[in-house]
Structure 1
Amino acid sequence: MSLGWNGGLGPPGVPWRSPGRQHAAMHRPAVLLLVLLASSTEAFRICAFNAQRLTLAKVAREHVLDTLVRILARCDITVLQEVVDSSGSAIPLLIRELNRFDDSGPYEHLSSSPLGRSTYMEKYVYIYRSHKTQVLQSYLYKDLDDLFAREPFVAKFTLPSKVLPSLVLVPLHTTPKAVDQELNALYDVFLEVSQLWPGEDVILLGDFNADCASLTKKRLGELALRTQEGFHWVIGDREDTTVRSSTHCAYDRIVLYGERCPSLVRAAGAFDFPGSFQLTEEQALAISDHYPVEVELNGAVPRARPLSLAALLLPSLLLPLLPSQLAPAA
């Protein structure tokens, strides 16, 4: 995964310490190590993936199903796009295999109705770990002026975070013929969401077709989502979200808005699943011609972990190294 966000700190100062404080400071890493062994802070990963005409016949192919499960199991919430399965069986099959794959579930899903202007219809589908997040509310945006080929299916989720206990996701898969119109209309969707849930942080995400022939850099820079303050495009303009080696386009994007969410970003980028899973380009294209894009958020509630034998023995090994004034009295 290429990282598109760096929240690193500058070099710290080196304050003077008395000899006694210097001696005690030498042992602080040992204390910190014990704390880290006892608990850890998990990142929360939100993903968007254009699964390229996802049908039951496609999911039923074993190598496709296996790869899709491995991709989805990396994320706490995934917004799937281009789900065109008319049978209604593809997503339940995916969920069943996800719940069999490892112990990171259970997984549930939330699906929109079929969306489109003709006989070709797509669904947005949220797949999420139900022990880490739950859907609070959801609704389909009322596209009264028919600006979207597939209007956003908005959902508000809980998060396992004291800093950011909930978050609104607004997915969009634009049509290449009207990218400017749809992305500017997406700003209006954002305004409606902000009025409906004041103070909530928002993530706009999906296959925006926001690059190459579909949207020039000049037109991209003129979008309301680029000119208005407060929007953070964490999938950069130079990112490649396409599988084919012959293309290099940042079609798929994640855009953050809010007072808390941007400060919690640990990493963001496109997930190169062919490289990670050692697939040829031909094998990868059987899955999708898009990479998933993802953002990891810090600030999850620390998860207690059972201490290993080494961790249990560590205090007795470190005790002789402690300064005499900190060691227990005889």
Structure 2
Amino acid sequence: MPDVKFCDIGANLVSASPSTFDGFYFGSQVQSHPEDSEDVLERAKRVGVREILVTAGTLEEAKAAASKCRMWNEKSFRKSSNSINNDREGADDDEDGSEGVFPKMYSTVGVHPTRCDEFEEKYDGSPERYLQALKTVVRENADVVKAIGECGLDYDRLHFCEKETQKKYFQFQFELAKEFDLPLFLHSRNSREDFYEILKRNVKHLRKGAVVHSFTGTREEFEELLALDDKIYIGVNGCSLKTEENVNVVQSIPLDRMLLETDAPWCAVKKTHFGNTFLEGGENSNRIQTLFGTPVKPKKWQKGSMIKDRSEPCQIATVCEIVAGCKETSYEDVAEACYRNSRDLFFSPSSS
């Protein structure tokens, strides 16, 4: 594959309950295959993923994500050191001089809009104590925590958390961004007016910027968001590329304001998605399947297998292919621009 660099700015690799990366699917209590997160990380490194931001949606997930990222980073360096005299394909030097067989792993701290009831259900119903606990996680894991979130509004799933509660605790989390001088990792679904109003009111707290991830809105929506501040970015993944309308919107997003992500294990690019047309033949030939083979069903898993319809960080290359195709530019140019944007938002010298 070309010598490109990626940062997957959003991957759900750690959850409060067993996930697809632990071998559990569709709520089943039966494990389809062994935990395979290290294979997933090695595949990501092989396609050029240099960093992954593991997203958290609750206090407990934030604790687990920070701990797991630190463990992965230590194990990555250890495995690299142990094989220093061997052929270490994919274990190249990172920009900061460190080595590893996995991408460098980082995490977020925040509460997803559909989980905002936790502010009033934990710590004897004290939102302030819950907020203080989030602050403790940021403070004690400053080496790996790179953003506040995932936070925002989701009006498609009000059965999980009602609208007024979401709005209240979205607002609440700007205090974290302000106190720790970190960028925001934002979520917005079917909530354009309220989301924009709250973001606009708090734009003064966005000194480090923000990304509106997994964007599926309109051109008018992203234009009004980008106009709020020049450090606001739009995150694009497989869900951003489902329909012809989605792809037309992505085609209009300026490359200097775009970030790439997978939202793994969700938002895989499927054969039914319009964006898939940019992978058929020609220069865009689905690099991932060529490199790692055809994905299999969970029960057909063998070590090294990718799972059908399970998104994972290596598939950021597929997202990049589609963006390059719809923008009629090169894969390398898209990767370079989006990687530079990711470094500027999450890893600028003052925030490292």
> TM-score range, shorter-chain basis?
0.3 to 0.5
Bigger CA radius of gyration: 1
Q: Which has the higher strand share?
A: 1
Q: Which has the higher helix share?
A: 2
TM (norm. structure 2) is 0.37
TM (norm. structure 1) is 0.38
Higher relative contact order (CA closer than 8 Å, sequence separation 6+): 1
